Structure 1
Amino acid sequence: MKPKHPSRLELALQASNEGVWDWYVDEEEIYYSDRVLGFLGYPRDEAPNILKHSDRYIHEDDQPELQKAISEVLSESAPDTLATDCRYRHPDGSWHWLRIRGVLVPAEDGSSDRIVGSVIDISRRKNAETALDEERHRLHELIENIPVNVYYKDTDSKFVLANSSTAKKLGAESVQDLIGKSDHDFFDARHADVARANELEIMETQKPQIKVIQCETWEDRENTWAETSKLPWLDRKGNLRGTFGVTSDITDLVRSQRMLTSLAEELQSRYTAVEEELHLAREIQQALLPQSLEGLTLCDSSREVSFGCRYAPASEMAGDFYEVIPISQHSIGFFIGDVMGHGVRASLVVSMLRGLMEKEREAATDPEWFLYGINEGLVSILERANVTLFATAIYCVVNLKEGTLRYSCAGHPTPITVRLGKAQQLKLQGKETNPALGLIPGTPFKAEKLSLDEIDRLLVFTDGLHEVENEHGEPYGVERIIAQLEDHADEELSTCLDRIIAEAKAFSKTNEFDDDVCLLAMDVGSGL
């Protein structure tokens, strides 16, 4: 006996990924093939009749069309086929697009009519069509609303597609009035002949003509000037269809050519001056930074504190900076700031902060009041300028007489300390943290206090260090900084800082920093 093979219909349905349903319309029960049950997401004994109870399972916007299709197939005057696409609510709550097809099988014995059909899940195609329609709509909206002329021409240089700006420029009542016409219908013969020759050359060589400035001559109006880019129009198979182009009217610019030339020369002169000033500003900004901290110490009979720093601006005008503030014979303050952004604006805020720091110098012994005064001044300046900017900062005060380090953070990472070869990032007391500078007026700032006996080495840093990313988008992270401090805890401070910078650069996908980086560190040792 020969083994039973699937029927041609079964094979065809399997190949097309379709399932079969069978329904006697007067009955509740409906038959679904296994494929349909898979689409519906129900076991056979729980599968609902989605045709009879469409109000429960079919999207409300699609129910009328489905019911209409069922009614028509049952009608004597209508075709005996059913065809509709609808959205079906899957048991998991998602909507699936189903393509439902059916054919009426009339009952010959007076029993109820029967509809037999197929179902296929077309969600992928529908979603792709929706995305494509949306993309086409966005493209159409863009072309229709950009203030330039966009057009396609066939191999005879006749318009086949254009936007409204093109119709308006050529004096046509609508885009439709352009279709089938050429430049000879709008410009004088001289300009139209030149345009045709250019388009023939583009089609022959298949090389574009980009940003060509032309004088447009008309029969019944003054000449105009335009900047035009034209390219060969190829279909997706690479067959030449004609040309397409983008034209911008630059008449006013050309008519003002002499003035603009003079203005351009003046602007160039000013630009050169600005470049020189920016270069000078960067030199001044660099000069305003404290001189190398190598060798800077604070000491008494019991302790000696030495300092080191590394500063790597990412652009001509940096937003990171640091400052060391001598307070007394046994006390010193140090400040690191990170202004939002880069460039001139960030540099100006840095200058403001330096001025505010000088103004608040009397409060330099108290980190919380020092930052409070700077914040009040910066908020006042930014509000008057109607500008939203902020800067994160940390200010620390070392007091050898008291044997303490007091610090206050304004939205800035807390310091990392090393003690007996073990590094950790300090945690702030309480749940609330101080905001960045320049955001909220009247904000009280809190300070933290730490004994110098708990510190062998301390590092403060800006986010350009721990936020640098590798080729996988992974940030360097504070944990790697902590590991570096532990690995190099026995080395000189300057060597340790160089190691941290080198390791972070090696981690970076570009081997450079994308943001400004500033490190300031201190070692606490025994005194005289």
Structure 2
Amino acid sequence: MDAAAIPILIVDDDPTTAAMLRGLVRNLGDGLSCASTCVTTGAAARREFGRGGYDLVLLDYQLPDEDGLTLLAALNAQPARRRPPVIMLTGAGSETVAVEAMKLGASDYLIKTALNHATLRRAISAALDRRRLEERLAESTDLLRRQHAQLETDLAMARVVQQALLPQDYPVFPPGVAADQSRLRFAHRWIPTHQVAGDFFAVLPVSATAAGVFLCDVMGHGVRAALITTHLRGLLHEHEAQAGDPGAFLTALNRHLQALLERVGETVFVTAAYAVVDAASGELLFANAGHPAPLHLERGASRVSPCLQPDGPGPALGLIPDFTYDTARRSFAAGDAVLLYTDGLYEAEDATGEQFGQKRLAAAVTARLGQQMAWLLDGLLADVQATRPPGAGPLPDDVCLVAAERVG
């Protein structure tokens, strides 16, 4: 057999038809070189199917031991890579047989009495072209599958790295005391919707008695947002000297972040809130860059109120390079806490499309004022999830909550 010839299996029990098919196949012309093998029974055809190596099958509908449709179904049960295209042949036209053959995966359906060189060549060429396209598609699909698997592996690693960049242990105040003796205590919940998130937070020791709590939300999701949070983490440490003044701190972050985002070439911004709580002075200082206002939990007064800037929040980080952010201040009594959160918490919708909303969030916090902070955060998440439609799954946006509490 010519090594370049296309191997074709002819399954037909009529010697005259088989000889005619072999002659037609041998002389298809125009660069279509084929070599054929003939068998006369379904059993013999099954043995050849088992051996494999055929690029095409010409299959008679009527065989002495079984019909061609049964044989076609058996062939299609084989793995795709061992399954050659099949052209079904019949002595007389039957629309029912033709439809059934095509349902079972036949590439074409030809009537022997109308068979000629041009018709057979056209059918074989079309079947082989389709097979080549299917093979290329399978190769491309496999390549995409492997690339996707690699991407998932990379994203999983990126998630581990991003989680490692988040605070693993909270600082204690004053330094050196046991965690249960710290005058400032913290709790957080970080829930990404994708492998990596655009929400990021940090707790910074500002002095022996004061801590800075930073929370940001990068526009968008996925790898780009996660990369920006990684850059922000470096900026936080770079500007630690200004961390005691929230306004000055956000001003410095904005200036350096805007220089980076300008090189990205796309509009990207970061909303952020930053609060400094001081256990010694009993003060809460805060500044806001387009972020939802943190909530001040005044347990002694049984009150929850938003931490608002006198002139409103400043713009998101990365939009206006020379903007100066203002610092606002409040008294922060023993037992008070401040809660920073991202909009993924309150923008979750119920079955009617209504968002949970910031007012309902404040009411839910008020109802849980007497709880420990970790329980309060879990309760808020449960309250939000309870308003969503049954089976809605996880929240649709990244969610991050960070709380800082002054212990009496």
TM-score where L is the length of structure 1: 0.50
Q: After the TM superposition, which residues 14-163 of structure 1 pair with which residues of structure 2 at under 5 Å, given as runs?
A: none
**Are 2:389 and 1:512 equivalent residues in the alignment?**
no
Q: Greater strand share, 1 or 2?
A: 1
Distance 1:210 1:204, change over 3 A: closer
Q: Which residue of 1 aligns with 2:241?
A: 362
Residues 94-141 of structure 1: CA deviation (Å, up to 9, x unaligned): xxxxxxxxxxxxxxxxxxxxxxxxxxxxxxxxxxxxxxxxxxxxxxxx
Q: Which residue of 2 aligns with 1:339?
A: 218
How far did 1:404 drift?
A: 1.6
Which among 185, 191, 196 is matched to residue 317 of structure 1? 196
Which among 187, 209, 216 is matched to residue 308 of structure 1? 187
Which among 141, 165, 173 is matched to residue 298 of structure 1? 173
Distance 1:271 1:405, change over 3 A: same
> Aligned letter for 1:317?
V
SS in 2 for 1:479: helix
TM-score where L is the length of structure 2: 0.63
Superposed structure 1 runs of 4+ greater than 3 Å apart:
199-205, 207-214, 217-221, 223-226, 253-258, 263-271
CA distance in 2: counterparts of 1:317 and 1:359, whole angstroms:
24
CA distance in 2: counterparts of 1:399 and 1:278, whole angstroms:
38
Q: After alignment, is 450-459 or 377-386 more displaced?
A: 450-459
Residues 169-206 of structure 1: CA deviation (Å, up to 9, x unaligned): xxxxxxxxxxxxxxxxxxxxxxxx99xx9x9679968x
How far did 1:377 drift?
A: 2.2
Specify every segment of 5 or more residues in structure 2 that has no aligned partner in the other structure, as ranges. 1-86, 109-116
CA distance in 1: counterparts of 2:210 and 2:130, whole angstroms:
66
Distance 1:204 1:395, change over 3 A: same
How far did 1:362 drift?
A: 2.4
Aligned CA RMSD, in angstroms, stands at 4.1
Q: How many residues align?
A: 305
CA distance in 1: counterparts of 2:376 and 2:227, whole angstroms:
32
Residues 401-423 of structure 1: CA deviation (Å, up to 9, x unaligned): 43322111111011111222111
Q: Which residue of 2 aligns with 1:458?
A: 338
**Are 2:148 and 1:271 equivalent residues in the alignment?**
yes
**Are 2:166 and 1:286 equivalent residues in the alignment?**
no
How far did 1:212 drift?
A: 10
CA distance in 2: counterparts of 1:487 and 1:480, whole angstroms:
10
> Aligned letter for 1:428?
Q
CA distance in 2: counterparts of 1:202 and 1:457, whole angstroms:
77
Distance 1:320 1:455, change over 3 A: same
CA distance in 2: counterparts of 1:410 and 1:275, whole angstroms:
33
> Aligned letter for 2:164?
A
Q: Identity percentage over the alignment?
A: 33
* Greater relative contact order structure (CA < 8 Å, 6+ sep): 2
8 Å CA contact 1:416, 1:426 repeated in 2: yes
**Are 2:404 and 1:522 equivalent residues in the alignment?**
yes
Which among 365, 379, 386 is matched to residue 499 of structure 1? 379
Specify every segment of 5 or more residues in structure 1 that has no aligned partner in the other structure, as ranges. 1-192, 227-248
8 Å CA contact 2:201, 2:213 repeated in 1: yes
Distance 1:511 1:504, change over 3 A: farther
SS in 2 for 1:463: coil
Q: Which residue of 1 aligns with 2:317?
A: 437
CA distance in 2: counterparts of 1:406 and 1:400, whole angstroms:
12
* Bigger Rg, structure 1 or 2: 1
Q: Which residue of 2 aligns with 1:7?
A: none
Which among 421, 428, 432 is matched to residue 302 of structure 2? 421
Distance 1:210 1:474, change over 3 A: farther
How far did 1:518 drift?
A: 0.8
Q: Which residue of 1 aligns with 2:15?
A: none
How far did 1:454 drift?
A: 8.5
CA distance in 1: counterparts of 2:364 and 2:269, whole angstroms:
30
Q: Which residue of 2 aligns with 1:6?
A: none
8 Å CA contact 1:410, 1:435 repeated in 2: yes
